Chains A and B, each alone.
Chain A
Amino acid sequence: KNEVEQSPQNLTAQEGEFITINCSYSVGISALHWLQQHPGGGIVSLFMLSSGKKKHGRLIATINIQEKHSSLHITASHPRDSAVYICAVDPSGSRLTFGEGTQLTVNP
């Protein structure tokens, strides 16, 4: 069993839909990262959180430490949100463990 599991693996949505991507992990962590990788390959850090909720524009990330679960939400999705979203956890000492990623496609 992977230490970090994401669901779904693939997600197709219509523009405007509310999107949720889930991440479950099995180890204690000091922080959890959500990353976005565009088709061109570049990786952007969206959030780093260790508790509660963070919001940036149309993106919201939540984490429940007790349940070892995090969600990434996208409100009013847009085709430019199409990308791979990667969850990564930091058990300690900066050795990030990555999920396999969720491929999101938002159709106009």
Chain B
Amino acid sequence: DAGVIQSPRHEVTEMGQEVTLRCKPISGHNSLFWYRQTMMRGLELLIYFNNNVPIDDSGMPEDRFSAKMPNASFSTLKIQPSEPRDSAVYFCASSSRANTGELFFGEGSRLTVL
């Protein structure tokens, strides 16, 4: 398996623009997680899905952030409108079991909002 695949790897955009980050989990994994990593706050869970259903989105910072998982092999994290403080590395991870399974991380998407 190719592992968790994220795109884009790098994105530079201007404040106010819409940003869409994409993730393809490992086939057969039924849990998917979106994390954000910044120097100030470290790694934080934004949202996680189990069997394509959002279970916990309490980490989503505000209404500008939204995440979807239309099927078992694809998820998106959207920021609209983007702000400079959204600059971070966004990681997607998947697991075969939500709270007892090993996590497999993607390479991350580095977002810079100017």
- In the assembled complex, the CB of B21 is this many whole angstroms from the nearest CB of chain A, namely 15
- Contact yes or no, A42 B55, CB < 8 A: no
The number of residues on chain B lying at the interface, defined by a beta carbon within 8 Å of a beta carbon of chain A, is: 26
- Contact yes or no, B107 A45, CB < 8 A: no
With A31-B99, A93-B55 as contacts: A98 and B43 at CB distance below 8 Å:
yes
What residues on B are CB-neighbors of A31 within 8 Å? 99-100
- Contact yes or no, B42 A100, CB < 8 A: yes
- In the assembled complex, the CB of B26 is this many whole angstroms from the nearest CB of chain A, namely 12
The number of residues on chain A lying at the interface, defined by a beta carbon within 8 Å of a beta carbon of chain B, is: 22
- In the assembled complex, the CB of B61 is this many whole angstroms from the nearest CB of chain A, namely 15
With A33-B103, A45-B103, A100-B42 as contacts: A94 and B98 at CB distance below 8 Å:
yes
Using a CB-CB cutoff of 8 Å, which residues 82-108 of chain A contact chain B? Answer: 86, 88, 90, 92-96, 98-101
Using a CB-CB cutoff of 8 Å, which residues 43-80 of chain B contact chain A? Answer: 43-45, 48, 50, 55-56, 58-59
What residues on B are CB-neighbors of A42 within 8 Å? 105, 107-108
With A94-B31, A95-B45, A95-B56 as contacts: A41 and B107 at CB distance below 8 Å:
yes
What residues on B are CB-neighbors of A88 within 8 Å? 43
**5 A-B pairs with least C-beta separation:** A43-B105, A98-B43, A94-B99, A94-B98, A45-B103
